[in-house]
Structure 1
Amino acid sequence: MRFDFFRRSAAEETQATEVSKDRMVSRNADGYVAYTLLLDPQKRVAGYKLAWCAAARPEEAPDAISQFKSLVACVTEHLNPPETPWRLGHSELFFDVNAEVLALGVLQSLPPEYTVLCLELGDLANEELRPVLLFLREQGFSFMLCRAPALPEDPELLGMVTHFDVDAGDPLLVAAVRGKEQPDHMPIQPIATRMASWKDFEACAARRIDMFADAGCGLPPPAASTGSRTLQPESMLIMRLLQMIQRNEDLREIEAALKRDAALTYRLLRHMNSPAVGAGVEIHSLHHAVTMLGYSPLFRWLSLLLATSNPTGSPPFMMKKAILRGRFVELMGETLLPRGESDNLFVVGMFSLIDQLLGIPMQEVLNKVQLPDSVQQAILTRGGVYGPFLSLAEACELNTGDAARLAEALLLSADQVNAAHLSALAWSQDVTPTEAAY
């Protein structure tokens, strides 16, 4: 649906469409998509705040308006293409906006019901901008009021606010937000936006507040253990199966080992037949899977199950992060490495977080699963043929500013990296702990 506020003549519309098509790739080549995870109190991913990291040096970077256009164009192309369902399910996307951005009308290509626009009180209260804001709200866009000392008193402004920035979980702000709940208005959702450590997250979780997880805080501390750190029985079985595949043992022996756990067999077959895997045929048995597709896909799928085999000790967002990273690394290397290497790339990306997922040291994991030397080198040192792809994925995740340099070394364009990143983000929605559950 096109906004009435930004309606153009037919000639202008045609010209704009052609220019948009011609510039889509070049715009996306100017920078890299970065995101911050929005976590709910159970450490599940509830949404993503997207930003654009310009590839050029700060003094040469495009202006903020051009960068925002690039971000929206990239998200639209890969997550909300025409005549295709929204690829992130129920996850919300958050964008920082201001009066200049809102007046452009570039938001029309995003799904309103899953888009939250983050703006400050000055823009929300801008009388000239109010018709645009009311129209956007009517279309289904949400508004998050940021860096405000309190909610607005004006009933019309208050009615537009759906989310409110409560800083690091300020109890007074949280109480004020929850005290404004009205019967005829959806509750305003408090969002903590400043996280100095994981202690901040736990404090917010105790008050049922979602929080943007600052990547600078690193990974969360491992869950407390009541005894020595040992693998779950299912994890041990999966590791044994991985070793058997690495040694190319007889398929009948692998099947016999797998059949000792009917639930694991069921989960594996569910994964093989899931939309995310997309094998193209229905897989009925382990023998069928290996006959049709070979040992490498089976190793990859077992690795995927290993990532979700310790649900009590690993937060859900970490499982998604590992799966997403594996797919991201895999997609970046597909066009550059020989056919058949993609499964190794997926394992490199996912296993780079496997110690956090299983709660045991990385070296102990690698001692139990004898991965190829090139895979181990990438995981331990970011070296070898696979290591640079993993380093680039981490740079994009952490928004370190190194993405352009690392991508250039791999002869990857920013557009290729963004396509891989957002495609992996969408793919990971179908491969979740819930999908793996039985």
Structure 2
Amino acid sequence: MNRVLVAKQPILDRHRQVFAYELLYRSEQPNQVFDGDQATIEVMVNAFLNIGLDRLTGQSDVFVNFTDNLLQEGVIEQFQPDDIVIELLESIQLNERVIKLIKRLATKGYRFALDDVTAELFDEWYEAGLLPHLTYLKIDFLQFTDKQKRKEVVWAVRHQFPHIQLIAEKIETEAMFQEALELGYDFFQGFFFMRPQLMESFEIPSFYYTYIQLIQQIDREEVELTEVASIIQNDLSLAYKLLRLINSPFYRRLERINSIERAVVLLGPKEIKKWLYVLALREHHDYMEVPELNELIVSSYYRAKMSEQLAILLNLNKSQEAFLIGYFSQLPAILRQPLDKLIQELSLDREIEAGLLEEKSELTPIYQLAVAYEQANWCQVDELADQLNFDKQAIIPIYKDAQNWAQSILDDQTHL
């Protein structure tokens, strides 16, 4: 099981109300060599797709640290300007390419915050002509110790760059906060208000090769959404992330989802490609080496195919819904979260929700029969088969086909 972590620290306004959150990378391996590029990718994937921005920040703005490498790789342009505030690290090398890139992105509406500003950094960015293109300056009250120079920076910003909002960061005492207030800072951040709060979730292992297949498919001139949906359907992790994304504050739809294909149509190839690019950079294809997780994922695939085929055998026009009931049935075990909470995050069709909760519905006994067969609960198999008027002999080949199909997906991906 992969435990994912993100820390958040609030940025407060002059009335101590939350204005935004800075999202920070955290790892379970304290001695791990820090990679700024990978840290940002982890933060974005975990915040948007695993934990969920609604849980992390609600409707508040989000500040995320960016290195010059990630800027130049085009990661930020996979997002809309209003999605996040790009927090530029003080270590960014201001070469000609980076300067032009920041100016171009700012012209497109992307918002930048310069982090850990000192007198020297302020002068460097001033000389590079970049201050007109910034939205926020974060003044480091621990490193920027000269109070007179702090006043001079505030004066310069207010008179030459009145569009820039000032954030006093690393505020650790009441005296620091009062000084920042008196100087006219707009926002405040630091241990005096709150230390970074750790948020956690668990992630379903994913198949790296799926991303490559999908990028190839979506890069075609004529995108076949049915084929895109079929590829996503073979990767439980990606399908779960897709539905989480559709139900996030950025993309929330009123329509409930009854199939992976419908989710693909609603989100569209452009948005899917954006996230595929970020996920492919992450390259977490080694997660599939956890045997107990493999068993749960194969079980999900089996239940999905078995439920789908049983619905078809009954001539029900709800085979896609039956598929998703089985498909998502092992999420509580994989993600270690209650089923009712997970259902709220996915915006599924009501009949799919009823099946997952084993409430009364046309599809519930079909799903229960798939599970009973999997668990060799023959008394329940007999009972449910009689209830559904099934020939028990006709179920045997369906069961075998579903088992083979489920195992073949895992084998195809992990042996590439």
TM-score normalised over the length of structure 2? 0.39
Larger RCO, structures 1/2 (Cα 8 Å, 6+ apart) = 1
**Structure whose CA Rg is larger:** 2
